[in-house]
Amino acid sequence: MAVGFHFDCFFYQIGHGDFLHSFFSTISYHLEPDGWGTKYPKLLSNLYYKKLNYSDIPQAIEETKEIRDKLAKFPPSQVIWDIDDLTAQPPWGDNISKQITSLSNYFKTNDGRNLFDLLLLALNDAYEDKFDLEIRSL
């Protein structure tokens, strides 16, 4: 089942739900020492579990940019597939493209886009159109 970012009639497809969970697991594990959503509440609490209110989108954009910059310092080998099971590994294991040089460019959507770029696009579009943003399954 595919998941993506959704507002109004727009859907920004990411891929499988496990992949998106890995994205957020990696962020929380490496950048939130006090637990899930403690440092980046707009993305990891609001967007991940509920919805991101239109008024919170500017803060979520800043969170996204900061996270991307910080994850650029981590090698791809430090990806977290599931924060609840740290022994879990991606289905492809270590077999990744040589173009993936850090956790900031590790996560690619089904169509090859950087997940951070897609998230920023969805955030900016939802803000421009004055809509809340949420994660939905197809």
pTM beyond 0.75: the answer is: yes
Query: 64-98, pLDDT tens digit by residue?
Result: 999 999 999 999 999 999 999 999 999 888 888 88
In this prediction, residues 35-63 reach a mean pLDDT of 97
Q: What is the pLDDT of residue 93?
A: 83
Please, where are the H alpha helices in 46-96? 48-49, 57-71
User: What whole-number distance in Å separates Cα of residue 78 and Cα of residue 112?
Assistant: 21
Query: 6-46, pLDDT tens digit by residue?
Result: 999 999 999 999 999 999 999 999 999 999 999 999 999 99
Q: Which comes out higher in pLDDT, residue 58 or 1?
A: 58
Dihedral class, residue 5 (left if φ above 0, else alpha if ψ from -120 to 50, else beta): beta
